[in-house]
Amino acid sequence: MKDGIRAVQFGCGPIGCAVAKLAIQRPNMELVGAVDIDKNKIGRDLGEVTGIGKKLGILVTDDVDGLFGRTRVDVVFHQTSSSLKRVAPELVKLLEFGVNIVSTTEELAFPFATQPELAAEIDRVARANRATVLGTGVNPGFVMDSWILFMTAVCQEVRKVKAVRVQDARTRRLPFQKKIGAGCTPEQFQKLVDAGTLRHVGLTESIAMIGDGLGWILDNITESIEPVMAQGWVQSPYISVEPGQAAGVRQIGRGLRGKEEVITLEFEASLGAPESYDAICITGIPNMEVVIKGGTHGDIATAAIVVNAARRVIEAEPGLLTMKDLPIVICRV
């Protein structure tokens, strides 16, 4: 018998399944339900849907009212979409049941600058129902925002910050490789950018969180996006890319005070990037350069931070919180 945190998995796509698989392993956690809208998943056992090779006795349902009406739930792991506008009704409905939420919706990581009205509404509903909601993940949520803010603890002064996240995408899932435009011609790449499907979401949110954390009033936040062109043949287990095609994407987010660029976030994910790493540079007193060798694996890290954050979110005051408001999230089992 487990008597720890009672969790529901909301959204059983690749990230949701990764979160659920980790939650199942934790001795201090019990999964008590799973939600998805996919007709091919509803009614099936979560163990089957996640592919863990055994039944869990938890059937995927789309009956949110039924599930939360009859089950005591401490926290919901919410993995459905990057768009705050799309997930807001889901979050509001869950919060009205008084349950805490850890969501990987990128735009929720720090929505106060970009979508202030929606942020205020979610915060209001959360407080009214004594529930806490957090947007987190590896990025936004960790590498390009809360990690930087954490490292500034030992700085007397911070004038500029920069983060660089370079990932060789060959070891990632096929949907991720497609998402970064690998194998596209420049024209196909641009079409995906124009359609809004290629962009890594979160740079703007991370910049806004850093600015707010450091007490900086930012005058402008910009984002650019371009293909990383393959210089030679590159192969992943799924895709083969030839010279002249895109091997992936490079995005740069910039935060400006007046005309000065004080925050720079560079994100590159491409097949065959020469070295994967995450690095931050702080210009100040002192200057700091910190490197995660080999980088942080997106899928592993995102599942981890979601599950690890559960305890902090349950213990926190009600409302819409961000990673900079919480006590440090720890892999505590």
Q: Closest approach of Cβ 128 to its own copies, in Å? A: 23
Q: List beta partners, residue 21.
A: none
Contacts of 162 (CB under 8 A, 6+ apart): 263, 264, 265, 266, 280, 281, 283
Candidates 73, 94, 122, 138: give the one binding its own copies (CB under 8 A): 138
Q: Closest approach of Cβ 302 to its own copies, in Å? A: 8
Q: Closest approach of Cβ 129 to its own copies, in Å? A: 23
Q: Which of residues 25-84 bind its own copies (CB under 8 A)?
A: 25, 28
Q: Which pair of structure tokens corresponds to residue 162? A: 């920069």
Q: Which pair of structure tokens corresponds to residue 71? A: 């089950």
Spatial distance between the Cα atoms of 19 and 46, rounded to a whole number of angstroms: 12
Instruction: For residue 44, count other CB atoms closer than 10 A to its CB.
Output: 17
Tell me if 113 contacts its own copies by CB under 8 A: no
Q: Judged by CB under 8 A, how many residues of this single chain contact its own copies? A: 50
Q: Is the dihedral of CA 18, 21, 23, 26 positive or negative?
A: negative
Nearer to its own copies, 26 or 179 (CB): 26
Which amino acid belongs to residue 89? P
Tell me if 245 contacts its own copies by CB under 8 A: no
Nearer to its own copies, 247 or 313 (CB): 313
Q: Closest approach of Cβ 105 to its own copies, in Å? A: 18
The DSSP code for 198 is S
Report the chain's terminal Cα–Cα distance, integer Å.
16
Which candidate, 308, 323, 326, places its Cα nearest to that of 22?
Answer: 308
Spatial distance between the Cα atoms of 2 and 146, rounded to a whole number of angstroms: 32
Taking CB under 8 A as the binding criterion, the range among 42-50, 74-82, 246-254, 281-289 that sits at the site for its own copies is 281-289
Which candidate, 78, 74, 104, places its Cα nearest to that of 92?
Answer: 78
Nearer to its own copies, 133 or 323 (CB): 323
Tell me if 289 contacts its own copies by CB under 8 A: yes
Candidates 48, 150, 226, 261: give the one binding its own copies (CB under 8 A): 150
- For 110, what's the count of Cα atoms within 13 Å in the CB-facing half-sphere? 23
Tell me if 127 contacts its own copies by CB under 8 A: no
The DSSP code for 170 is G
Nearer to its own copies, 215 or 237 (CB): 215
Q: Which pair of structure tokens corresponds to residue 203? A: 């740079």
Nearer to its own copies, 41 or 311 (CB): 311
Candidates 3, 51, 54, 154: give the one binding its own copies (CB under 8 A): 154
Instruction: For residue 96, count other CB atoms closer than 10 A to its CB.
Output: 14
Tell me if 158 contacts its own copies by CB under 8 A: yes
Candidates 79, 104, 146, 167: give the one binding its own copies (CB under 8 A): 146
Candidates 225, 309, 310, 320: give the one binding its own copies (CB under 8 A): 309
Candidates 24, 122, 169, 301: give the one binding its own copies (CB under 8 A): 301
Q: Assess contact for 136 and 142: CB atoms under 8 A.
A: yes
Candidates 77, 110, 142, 189: give the one binding its own copies (CB under 8 A): 142
The three-state secondary structure class of 234 is strand
Residue ranges binding its own copies (CB under 8 A):
22, 25, 28, 138, 142, 146-147, 149-150, 152-158, 213-215, 284-286, 288-294, 296-297, 300-301, 303-305, 307-309, 323-333
